[in-house]
Amino acid sequence: MTAGAAWYANRREAFLSESVQEVVGELARNAVAQGLHVETEQHDEWRSSVGLLQRELSRRAHEVEMLMSTLRAPELAEFRHVVLEYDFRRRGLRMDCVLLGDGIVAVVEFKRRRLDAADREQVASYCINLGQVPISV
């Protein structure tokens, strides 16, 4: 799988076997290649998000309720690819995480605060723009 518009894309197994720092390094390199300056805070956010996603996908830990309910869904059990910072250029959107499986797409947006209606609307917009039906969690 090639990254294309994403700053990181890999098969699930490869994503889980890479260190958090390797994934964050690739995200940062691709951001810089697009002429962006990456602040220290962004590195911290990526480290936190990638670490959480690796833990959730590898052992299905139940530390985050929304991610837990998404990963528990039987139809989402077999994610094949992990795509981070997907740049959906023609819509001016960049999605934190897209998980791809056989006939399934899941959009994950990481937030460090309590979710509100605007956050749910943001993810619903991402799903609609990808041609998916949003599932509210």
Give how many domains the chain has, as a whole number: 1
Does 53 reside within a domain? yes
pLDDT score recorded for residue 67:
58
pLDDT at 123: 84
Integer Cα distance of 107 and 114 in angstroms: 18
- The CA radius of gyration of the chain, in Å to the nearest whole number, is 14
Phi-psi region of 40 (alpha: psi -120 to 50; beta: other; left: phi over 0): alpha
- Residue 137 inside a domain? The answer is no
pLDDT at residue 74 in the model: 67
Residue whose structure tokens are 């590898």: 58
Identify whether 134 is part of a domain: no
Show the low-confidence residues of the chain (pLDDT under 70).
1-4, 59-77, 89-91, 132-137
Q: For 104-107, which contacts have Cβ atoms below 8 Å and span 24 or more sequence positions? A: 104/75, 104/76, 104/79, 105/130, 105/132, 106/70, 106/76, 106/79, 107/132
- Structural domain containing residue 66: 6-129
pTM over 0.85: no
93-101 and 6-11 beta bridge pairing: unpaired
Residue 69 in any domain: the answer is: yes
Report if residue 136 sits inside a domain: no
Residue 112 placed within a domain: yes
Distance (Å, whole) CA 41 – CA 8: 19
Does residue 1 lie within any of the structural domains? no
